[in-house]
A and B are shown apart, each in its own frame.
Chain A
Amino acid sequence: MVDDTASLSTTPDEPRRTDGPGGFVPQRPSGLSHLRDAMLAKPSRGQVVVAVLVGVMGFVAVEQFRASEEDLLARARRADLVQILDGLTQRSERLESQVRELEQTRRDLVSGADTRQTAIDQARARARQLAVLTGTAPATGPGIALTITDPSGEMPASVLLSTVQELRDAGAEAIQITGGNDAAVRVVAGTYFLDTSQGVDVHGVRLEPPYTLTAIGDPPTLDTALNIPGGVVEEVTNDGGRATIRQEDELTVDVLHEPEEPQYARPAPETGEDG
C-alpha cells in the first residue's frame, strides 16, 4: 500500500526500486553525502510540501502525546482498572467511616457544650438568687418603706428586731435599714441588734433614729403584717415613736453586705441531691 519510500529490502545499498520519477540520480555512493546534499539543496515547491506534511505530523504527534498523558485511565487494562477501582472504593469507605466518626464527635462536643452551658446558666441564676438572699447583690422590686421616728431616743433595739422578724414573716425578701445619721445596713442572716447609748448598733454599724426600713416583698401583705393589733406600729406608738408605712411599686435595696469567711463552719460533705 505504501511501498514507494520504504521497502522491506534488507540490502539498502542496492535499492530495488527503479520506478521513481528519477529526480534524484545517485551519483555518489555515500548515503551521508546524499543527506548533506539534501540539506543544502535549494528550496523547491516539493520540499515545501514535504515540510508541511512533516510539520503536520509533528504537530499531531505532539498533540497525541499530550492527549495520551491526559487520560491514563482510558488506556489502562481491565485488570488494572478493576484494581484501581478496588483501591478507590476501599479508600472511599475508609474516608466515609472517618466522616461518620468525626460527625459523631462533633455532635458529642456540641451537645456537651450545650449541657455545660445550661449548667453554667443555672448556676449563674442560682448565684444571683443567693446573692440577693445573702445581701451581696442589690435587689429591686415592689415593697414598703417603713419610717420609725424616735423623738425620745429610747427606742430599744428589740423593736427593730421584731420589725425585721415581722417583715420576714410576711415574706420580705430583701431588707435594709437606714439610720438618721445616713448609715445603712443590709439585713442578712447574721444581722444582730444591740442597744447603745445613742441609737442602735446593727451588725456593727451604729444607727441613729429615725430609722427607715426598706423591704422588698408584697406591699399589702407587709403593710398588713406591720399594722396588726399588738404589732410593730402599735409597739412603736407605745414607745413614744411614730411608724409610717409607704407602699411602693419599685424599690431598691442597694446596701451590700460584706460576707466574712466563716471561722468554724465548713460546708458539710454532700449527702443529698441539692448539697
Chain B
Amino acid sequence: MIPAIGLLLGILAGLLIDVEIPLSLQPYLPIAVVAALDAVFGGLRALLDGIFDDKVFVVSFVANVLIAAFIVFLGDQLGVGAQLSTAVIVVLGIRLFTNVAAIRRHIFNA
C-alpha cells in the first residue's frame, strides 16, 4: 500500500515540480530509470510469488540502478557508450518482458 502511494506521490511531484536535470547525469538517467523499472517489476513478481522481501528489493533496486549507470559510464569512457547502452537496454528489456509475463500469468492465469 505504502509503496503504491509512494509511486503516485513521486509521479505527482514529477508532474508538479520542474527540475532541470544536470547535464552530466543526462546520459545515465534513462538507463537508471529502466533498471529501476526492472527492479520494480521483479519485486512485483516476487510479491505475487509470495517471496517478496523488503531488504532484497531495496538492495536489488539500488544495485540495479547503480550498475546500469556504471556500465553506461564505463562505455562512455571506452568510447562504446552507445553500444553498451543498447546492450543494457536489451537485457533489461528482456527481463522486463519476462517479469511482466510472469505477473500476467499470476493475474490472469494465462
Please list the residues of chain A having a beta carbon within 8 angstroms of any beta carbon in chain B.
Answer: 1-10, 12-13, 15, 17, 20-28, 31-32, 34-35, 38-41, 43-64, 66-68
Contacts and interface: CB of A to CB of B under 8 A. Distances in A.
Nearest to B102: A12
A5 B39 contact: yes
Given A27-B50, A57-B37, A62-B14, A5 B45 contact: yes
B72 interface: no
Given A21-B53, A23-B53, A59-B14, A6 B36 contact: no
A6 B98 contact: yes
Interface in B66-110: 67, 94-95, 98-99, 101-103, 105-107
Given A8-B95, A24-B53, A63 B14 contact: yes
A48 B58 CA distance: 11
4 interchain residue pairs of minimum CB distance: A6-B42, A46-B54, A51-B6, A62-B14
A63 B106 CA distance: 32
Contacts of B19: 63
Interface string B48-68: 111111111111111110010
A24 B106 contact: no
A51 B5 contact: yes
Contact of A49 (B45, B49, B54): B54
A1 B67 CA distance: 8
A40 B1 CA distance: 7
A7 B102 CA distance: 10
Given A12-B49, A63-B21, A2 B9 contact: no
Contacts of A24: 50-53
B54 A61 contact: no
B14 A60 contact: yes
Contacts of A48: 2, 6
A2 B64 contact: yes
Nearest to B8: A58
Given A5-B46, A59-B13, A63-B19, A21 B98 contact: no
B105 to A, nearest CB: 6
Interface string B1-27: 111111111110111001101000010
A1 to B, nearest CB: 5
B51 A59 contact: no
Contact of A32 (B14, B45, B106): B106
Contacts of A46: 54-55, 58
B45 A43 contact: no
Nearest to B18: A66
Nearest to B26: A67
A64 B31 CA distance: 11
